[in-house]
A = this chain, B = another copy of it.
Amino acid sequence: MRALVYHGPGQRAWEEVRDPEIIDEGDVIVRVDATTICGTDLHILAGDVPEVRPGRILGHEAVGTVDEVGDDIHRLSPGDRVLVSCISACGTCRFCREGRYGQCAEGGGGWVLGRSIDGTQAEYVRVPYADTSTYRIPDGARDEEILMLADILPTGYEVGVLAGGVRPGDVVAVVGAGPVGLSAITCARLFSPSHVVAIDLSDERLKKAREFGADVTVNDATEDAAAVIRDLTGRLGADVAIEAVGTAATFELAVKLVRPGGRIANIGVHGKPAMLHLEDQWARDITITTGLVDASSTPTLMRLAATGQLDAGRFVTHRFAMDDFEQAYDVFGDAASNGALKVVLTRQEDEADE
């Protein structure tokens, strides 16, 4: 089969590789019908994630069709159409039994696809712990919408909106209007906040933020986000701030924006520490959360997508055939110029019939 292989910093190729095989009896082999590229993949390519070794097939998001099942598999059969989650959950460890699949403590659980085992940017992928790591796709759902539920939507929903405890009537500040920030904005809307304030340095992204449900936008390069929030809240501060960038500056801004009793939900992937101004915050009853997506909300989000309450499809800005994978990386790698949010790569039907 063909797959997108990482060959060390800056080097990747869509090339012929060996087909995956069942290793553990809880595995399934999934034929990939649609996959996508995550910002994390760019970090890997930049060499920032050293545990990913050259030779690794990248990717941790897919929609596909079950091709082969291991002997332990009870919930899936060949031919089933499934969402492959970015998180593999053994289902039996302490964390899985609490629904914290992202913390799965077993060998082989948590975020492993496209990291410590071969991933989804391929014609076929081996999915471990498949009974608890894939989700049956409802009839009539569109592949590319469901694909958005593999990572970006549960991340915004769980790590941003649920951890942030968004409630009806809240003022929610979302710092960063890239794909993850947009996911947080659109998922926050599910709880009917009175205002969602998007904060970013790019007017382009802020325009997107409005389309995704922000009703106030602040370009932090030229405007004072804290002042905007203060005006909106009678000088009180936001009920919830969601950090969706991953820098010390944006985290510190998020902390600064909330009211006494407010919550800061960090989604951003950080490479460096941030300053926590406890001298200002120790008495203010704030709550800060961090987290990795568990994808425990996937069934809920599927229902919401199916009934049209969640417009998952609007993240998709570019579509490619899998054979154009390298071009897709080029486009996504320069998202700012291309206005790219999520690119979708689909299997070509004629290939399937070969």
* Residues from chain B with Cβ under 8 Å of A103 in the complex: 260-261, 284-285
A9 on the interface (CB 8 Å rule)?
no
What 0/1 readout, one digit per residue, does chain A (269-295) give for beta carbons within 8 Å of chain B?
A: 111111111110111111111111000
Q: Do B92 and A74 touch across chains, with their CB atoms under 8 A apart?
A: yes
**Distance between Cα atoms of A71 and B281 in the complex (Å):** 37
**Distance between Cα atoms of A189 and B303 in the complex (Å):** 15
Interface residues of A, CB < 8 Å — how many?
68
A320 on the interface (CB 8 Å rule)?
no
- Name the residue on B nearest A189 (C-beta): B192
A124 on the interface (CB 8 Å rule)?
no
**Distance between Cα atoms of A307 and B270 in the complex (Å):** 35
Stretch at the interface among A93-101, A198-206, A332-340, A346-354: A93-101
State which of B98, B194, B283, B307 has its C-beta within 8 Å of the C-beta of A304: B194
Q: Do A261 and B100 touch across chains, with their CB atoms under 8 A apart?
A: yes
- Interface of A (DSSP majority class): loop
* Residues from chain B with Cβ under 8 Å of A246 in the complex: 282
A55 on the interface (CB 8 Å rule)?
no
A10 on the interface (CB 8 Å rule)?
no
A8 on the interface (CB 8 Å rule)?
no
**Distance between Cα atoms of A261 and B273 in the complex (Å):** 19
**Distance between Cα atoms of A260 and B98 in the complex (Å):** 12
**Distance between Cα atoms of A194 and B90 in the complex (Å):** 27
* Residues from chain B with Cβ under 8 Å of A106 in the complex: 74
- Name the residue on B nearest A304 (C-beta): B169
Given A102-B283, A285-B292, A309:B266 Cβ within 8 A: no
**8 A-B residue pairings within 8 Å (CB atoms):** A97-B296, A102-B283, A103-B285, A190-B191, A246-B282, A270-B279, A273-B277, A287-B289
